[in-house]
Amino acid sequence: MCGRYALSATATELIEHFRLLSCPEFGLRFNIAPQSTIPVIRQKPDAGRVGQLVRWGLIPSWTEDPSAGSKLNNARGETVAEKPMFRSSFARHRCLIPASGFYEWQPIAGRKQPFYIHPTAPDRFFAFAGILAAWTPPAGETIVSTCIITTGPNEVMAPIHDRMPVILQPEQFDAWLDPSNNDTAALKAMLGPCRADLMSAYPVSPAINSGRA
């Protein structure tokens, strides 16, 4: 799973790095928890890539209970195309979730040691594979939400945890974001672990366990 991550970038940096048309401002954050408002990248038809602020925790468009979003922070890549709560979003509403790194916890001698996993190359960002949904209450404004797609571990992650976010590479962005791309087999083929040499990990303080850290 992926339950915490960091994004130490400005909107301008994301615009430059991901070649966006626009991106709303947001604060630098080093311990982002589910239910937070986060920036995602989507493809605006006939225009280009744009940034958008959404809620982390997917609320399926058809649900009557928005609290479902508190449980749908991640979607397993092995089943995201088939499960009812995810398949419509996977088919038509895919996004990238930019990150400076993410946290995972390794069981060690009866306790859990947090690790920070980040791009090996300096001044780079991860691009998590994500999906979006728009839920409209009977009265009120539409809530757009997202979740992170996960997969099995690569060699860096395997000693730490048995899951990791799907991290897409620049050459995959266009196909992933294209809302008209309905090649399910090709999309699912992207949902494996990234190359181990693209990421590094080191232990961090247990203070990160607090969402206020």
Tens of pLDDT, residue by residue over 171-201, are 999 999 999 999 999 999 999 999 999 999 9
Radius of gyration from C-alpha coordinates of the chain: 16
Reduced to 3 states (helix: H, G, I; strand: E, B; else coil), residue 184 is helix
* Whether the Cβ atoms of residue 70 and residue 83 lie closer than 8 Å to each other: no
Given this model, what pLDDT does residue 65 score? Answer: 80
Exposed, middle or buried by CB within 10 Å (0-12, 13-18, 19+), for 66?
Answer: middle
Q: What is the pLDDT of residues 56-88, one digit of tens each?
A: 999 999 888 888 778 899 999 999 999 999 999
* Whether the Cβ atoms of residue 203 and residue 178 lie closer than 8 Å to each other: no
The answer to whether 194 is a known catalytic residue is: no
pTM of the entire predicted model: 0.95
The answer to whether 2 is a known catalytic residue is: yes
Asked if the model's pLDDT at residue 213 lies above 50, the reply is: no
Amino acid at 59: I
Task: Report in angstroms the alpha-carbon separations of 158 from 91, 125, 155, 189.
Answer: 29, 21, 5, 20
Q: What is the pLDDT of residues 2-18, one digit of tens each?
A: 899 999 999 999 999 99
Q: In what order do the strands lie in the sheet containing 29-32?
A: 29-32, 4-7, 101-108, 111-119, 199-203
Active-site position among 13, 64, 82, 104: 104
β 48-56/37-44 pair status: antiparallel
Give me the mean pLDDT over the 159-179 stretch: 97
Active-site position among 2, 23, 95, 147: 2
pLDDT category of residue 208 using cuts at 50, 70 and 90: confident
* Whether the Cβ atoms of residue 147 and residue 72 lie closer than 8 Å to each other: yes
